[in-house]
């Protein structure tokens, strides 16, 4: 059993700061600090200034926000379900958000009105969350089952949209969107989604004590005065709002929500309440570093963020399986 | 003085009656052993007595107040509940596991202070776990885990301790140890209610026994006068012989002569 005593937060925050700085510098056009500061000092608008404020900063902010949301959502769901394989997409919310966004692309709304994609994505996430709640509110197991049913429904909807895509170009646009990316998003889209993300974080921030009590199982948690129904509602609402809005902006980005809680857990003595913040910070770090990596890795067409997280995440999944197999023969 | 009173409680689920019309009142200082065959409704009654399950009919009162009307955190401070086969879901340190028992006492935001950690130490010492403080709770043996759960229940100093089969899966020494701890709690003025399958231990340590069969209460009263061989026969369908009382009591079973001989393939018994 790995049991590490030192607090990982200072190191992770330092790395996060460094990555955020690097994220402003690195890209198709390299902006070394000297150029960056010259651009800030020179009369605006100038090229360096525009690149930083219209491309690099939104991209960085979005990567941080989406990564933190996935890390936090994964940590809360793993604590609530006491299952190390839980991830934010489990409740059908990501599927719903993706379907909503794809509907916006399918009917050409996205081309006419830039906010259509995130707006319909959020609507899709909320509808999916409401459906999961409606069918699964009575217990934890029913919540998971309802979540997978809603995910299945959303996947069917996505397949339908691809099947009936009005043109090969629309099908291509839908698939690329689904691959996930934080690049080329406008400030207005970020501004639209931020309130939902923050509201979701607020709901999730109310769960830690209940999650700790669940270390003893549901019956004992209840006997300790934890309102399990309330806890489930808070977790579901928090995930629907924050992960839904994040997916509506950035597409489906897998594995961050699964990996981040696992990697920070040994550092906090496996206490479910204590992994929320480090997991969010680690998720943000992970996604930002991955996003920097796709700018650096030379590929003929752009490597999508969600593709790289899956590529990195899958070996981790195998490692998890091996570890579980070793622990329970 | 704490009085826990189940007033004619019944519990039905999906058209089946698990508990019917049980009236049971217990008070501080009693160690009530809940006896009965598997499926007699012990766990359901225990969950209702703990205020975790709402009876279909009737109600449970704690000091004359309906238990379901008491704020869940206030109730959590007054009674501790240990479910059957309690498990730990994460490899947290034993001290952290025990400290979870103080959760109802803590303010909404805020961690354990020095006085709280002192209580955790005392509870660990009381349950003979001081040497296991920092060990991951998932690596404890069955007996140690049962003691850790008891320490978790006791750390908040509840008036009532309710445990569902706290001795299941324990070897004779740990089972005796566990039941002696529960009896000591009752002597110290708490109300202890526990479902127990080992009738000898119940006869030796419990002040009162409540015997259930098919969701009904067959008998309830002081152990020596209530736990008789005829009642054991009625509750468990075995002939039993109860010898002695108090610390020397022994309950033994004899298969009943009128029971059908066991056939290896029950479906193929010739008519």
Q: Is the per-residue pLDDT at B269 higher than 60? A: no
How far is residue B217's CA from residue B19's CA, in Å, rounded to a whole number? 9
Contact B97 A216 (CB under 8 A): yes
Contact B103 A223 (CB under 8 A): no
Which chain A residues are Cβ-neighbours of B108 within 8 angstroms? 209
DSSP string spanning A63-116?
Answer: HHHHHHHHHHHHHHHHHHHT-TT--GGGGSHHHHHHHHHHHHHHTTHHHH-TTH
- A310-324, B130-144, B161-175, B178-192, range with the lowest pLDDT: A310-324
Residue whose tokens read 């500061």: A37
pLDDT digit string, tens, across residues A99-125 = 999 999 888 888 888 789 899 999 999
- Give me the mean pLDDT over the A301-322 stretch: 87
pLDDT digit string, tens, across residues B60-92 = 999 999 999 999 999 999 999 999 989 999 999
Contact A209 B103 (CB under 8 A): yes
Determine the distance in angstroms separating the CA of B230 from the nearest CA of chain A, rounded to an integer.
Answer: 35
Relative orientation angle of helices B142-154 and B172-187, to the nearest 10 degrees: 10
pLDDT score at A327: 64
Q: Please, are residues B5 and B201 in contact by the beta-carbon 8 Å criterion?
A: no
Structure tokens at B107: 């303010």
| DSSP symbol at B237 | S
pLDDT score at A274: 92
Helix (H) or strand (E) holding A317: helix A305-327
pLDDT score at B267: 60
Q: Could you give phi then psi for residue A2, rounded to 5 degrees?
A: -80, 130
Determine the distance in angstroms separating the CA of A44 from the nearest CA of chain B, rounded to an integer.
Answer: 47
- A94-103, A176-185, A312-321, B40-49, range with the lowest pLDDT: A312-321
- Give me the mean pLDDT over the A125-149 stretch: 91
Q: Could you tell me which of A235, A179, A228, A226 has the C-alpha nearest to residue A206? A: A235
Structure tokens at A211: 């999650």
Instruction: pLDDT band for A278, please (50, 70, 90 cuts).
Output: very high
- Residue ranges and CATH numbers for the domains of chain A are 9-327 (1.10.3470.10)
Q: Could you give phi then psi for residue A185, rounded to 5 degrees?
A: -105, 145
Does B9 contact chain A (CB < 8 Å)?
Answer: no
- A41-50, A194-203, A264-273, range with the lowest pLDDT: A41-50
Determine the distance in angstroms separating the CA of A214 from the nearest CA of chain B, rounded to an integer.
Answer: 8
Q: Please, are residues A261 and A68 in contact by the beta-carbon 8 Å criterion?
A: no
- A13-22, A24-33, A63-72, range with the lowest pLDDT: A24-33
List of long-range contacts for B239-244, beta carbons under 8 Å, 24+ apart: B240/B199, B242/B203
pLDDT score at A5: 60
B89 closest CB neighbour out of A209, A215, A224: A215
Extended strands (E) in chain A: none
Q: Is the per-residue pLDDT at A328 higher than 60? A: no
How far is residue A99's CA from residue B54's CA, in Å, rounded to a whole number? 41
Contact B89 A209 (CB under 8 A): no
Does A215 contact chain B (CB < 8 Å)?
Answer: yes
How far is residue B110's CA from residue B117's CA, in Å, rounded to a whole number? 13
């Amino acid at each position: 059993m790995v049991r590490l005593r030192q607090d990982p937060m200072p190191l992770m925050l330092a790395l996060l700061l460094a990555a955020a700085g690097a994220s402003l510098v690195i890209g198709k056009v390299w902006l070394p600090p000297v150029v960056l500061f010259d651009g800030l000092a020179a009369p605006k608008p100038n090229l360096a200034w525009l690149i930083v404020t219209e491309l690099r900063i939104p991209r960085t902010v979005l990567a941080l926000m989406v990564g933190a949301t996935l890390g936090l959502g994964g940590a809360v769901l793993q604590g609530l379900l006491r299952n190390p394989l839980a991830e934010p997409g489990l409740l059908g919310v990501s599927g719903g958000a993706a379907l909503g966004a794809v509907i916006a692309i399918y009917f050409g709304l996205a081309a006419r009105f830039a906010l259509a994609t995130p707006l319909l994505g959020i609507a899709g996430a909320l509808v999916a969350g409401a459906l999961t709640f409606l069918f699964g509110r009575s217990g934890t197991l029913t919540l998971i089952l309802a979540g997978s049913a809603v995910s299945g429904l959303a996947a069917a909807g996505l397949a339908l949209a691809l099947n009936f895509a009005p043109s090969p170009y629309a099908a291509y646009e839908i698939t690329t969107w689904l691959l996930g990316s934080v690049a080329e998003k406008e400030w207005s889209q970020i501004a639209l989604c931020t309130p939902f993300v923050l509201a979701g974080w607020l709901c999730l921030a109310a769960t830690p004590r209940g999650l700790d009590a669940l270390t003893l199982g549901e019956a004992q948690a209840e006997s300790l005065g934890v309102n399990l129904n309330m806890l489930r509602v808070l977790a579901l609402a928090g995930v629907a709002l924050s992960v839904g809005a994040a997916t509506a902006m950035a597409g489906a980005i897998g594995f961050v929500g699964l990996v981040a809680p696992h990697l920070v857990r040994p550092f906090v003595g496996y206490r479910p309440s204590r992994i929320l913040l480090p997991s969010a910070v680690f998720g943000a770090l992970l996604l930002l570093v991955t996003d920097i990596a796709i700018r650096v890795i030379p590929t003929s067409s752009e490597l999508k963020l969600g593709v790289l997280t899956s590529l990195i995440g899958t070996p981790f999944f195998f490692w998890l399986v091996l570890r579980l197999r070793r622990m329970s023969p | 003085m704490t009085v826990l009173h189940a007033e004619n409680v019944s519990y039905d689920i999906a058209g089946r009656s698990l508990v019917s019309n049980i009236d049971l009142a217990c008070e501080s200082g009693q160690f009530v052993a809940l006896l009965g065959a598997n499926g007699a409704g012990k766990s359901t009654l225990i969950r209702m007595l703990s205020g975790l399950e709402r009876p279909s009919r009737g109600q449970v009162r704690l000091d004359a107040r309906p238990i379901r009307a008491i704020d869940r955190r206030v109730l959590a401070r007054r009674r501790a509940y240990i479910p059957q086969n309690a498990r730990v879901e994460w490899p947290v340190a034993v001290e952290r596991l025990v400290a979870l028992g103080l959760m109802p006492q803590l303010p909404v935001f805020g961690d354990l202070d020095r006085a709280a950690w002192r209580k955790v130490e005392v509870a660990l010492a009381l349950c003979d776990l001081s040497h296991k403080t920092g060990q991951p709770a998932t690596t404890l043996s069955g007996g140690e885990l049962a003691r850790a759960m008891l320490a978790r229940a006791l750390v908040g100093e509840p008036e009532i301790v309710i445990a569902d089969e706290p001795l299941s899966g324990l070897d004779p020494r740990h089972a005796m140890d566990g039941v002696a701890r529960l009896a000591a709690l009752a002597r110290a003025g708490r109300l202890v209610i526990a479902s127990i399958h080992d009738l000898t231990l119940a006869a030796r340590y419990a002040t009162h026994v409540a015997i259930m069969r098919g969701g009904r209460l067959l008998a309830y009263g002081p152990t020596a006068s209530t736990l008789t061989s005829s009642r054991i026969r009625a509750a468990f369908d075995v002939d039993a012989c109860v010898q002695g009382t108090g610390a020397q009591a022994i309950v033994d079973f004899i298969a009943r002569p009128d029971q059908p001989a066991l056939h290896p393939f029950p479906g193929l018994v010739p008519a």
